Amino acid sequence: MSNYFNIPVVNFEELTSGDESGTARLVGDLGAAFGETGFVRLSSPGISEKWIEELYHNAERFFSLPYEVKRNYEIPGGGGQRGYTSFGVEHARGFQAPDLKEFFQFGQPEDPGTGPCGGNILVTEIPDLNPCAIKLFRSFEKTGKYLMRVIARYLNLEEGYFENWVQGGCSILRVIHYPPILREPEHSIRAEQHEDINLITLLAGASSEGLEVLNPEGQWIPVTAEPGELLVNVGDMLQRITNDRFRSATHRVVNPGRDKWHLSRYSIPFFLHPRPDMPLKCLKSCITPAHPVHYPELSAGQYLDERLREIGLRS
């Protein structure tokens, strides 16, 4: 199995084809990649490229609105989990310099706002934004749920082990805008090095390069999703419950060269989260004398709240 210089490709169509021998091979490839690199490139993921393009188009329209309009969609005390989050609010854990981004987040389309994750915010100025985001949310979630079944199979669990925890979970579709760089940044880059909080992240191809992954030798390696692919990476929650059997890879988004400072960058990650009451408890199959329990047990909601405070989204 390869390292960050060549992130493995898993074909989603083959994974779901029903060919047992081929599926078993791909389950092994995906699981081994998550243990070795924390990343895979998922080809033919069953998500419409047209819908992705539509969301990019509508997101660009939203982020072009005056700040006075955009801030109306920011929820005080909401931890950036729904609606708009202003430029320079979020920072990576362990860093004080803010990331050079603003973003908008969508959650479960059926959540009326009374649940633990909160309801979605309707953007009246861009009426096509929410319907487009909801379509993509459902599509990403469907693919993500299937991948969690594959992960369960690789870990010798029942295939539906994660299903009840992910169903109705606090998953997020985030649309990120990295604005043009107007002056020499003192300390900040577009997104400082970090690991994702959730179970797995599905990332559509960004509008430009900039994503880098830290390899085991401490080198930053540029990565990108090719057309018709998603990048899928392990988050901290999955690393915790697998007792480090799976690797939550460190990644960042670097600033472009000066000749591209005038250009915006957009990206669309989908963060697959469980329900807040899911216990983040190390799986028995991942505990051995050589690998004793590395993490104390706590709920997904407790862990999310802790991390949101660390990155400046919750006080």
Residue 2 has pLDDT above 50, yes or no: no
- The residue-averaged pLDDT of 291-299 equals 95
pTM over 0.75: yes
> Tell me, what's the pLDDT at 157?
96
pLDDT digits (tens, 9 = 90+) for 248-262: 989 999 999 999 999
- Phi and psi torsions of 114, nearest 5°: -95, -10
* pLDDT value, residue 113: 65
Please give the domain boundaries of the chain with CATH numbers for all domains.
Answer: 4-310 (2.60.120.330)
* Tens digit of each residue's pLDDT (9 = 90 or more) over 73-111: 999 888 889 999 999 999 999 999 999 999 999 999 877
pLDDT in the model for residue 309: 93
Average pLDDT of the chain, as a whole number? 92
Please check the confidence at residue 67 and state whether its pLDDT lies above 90.
yes
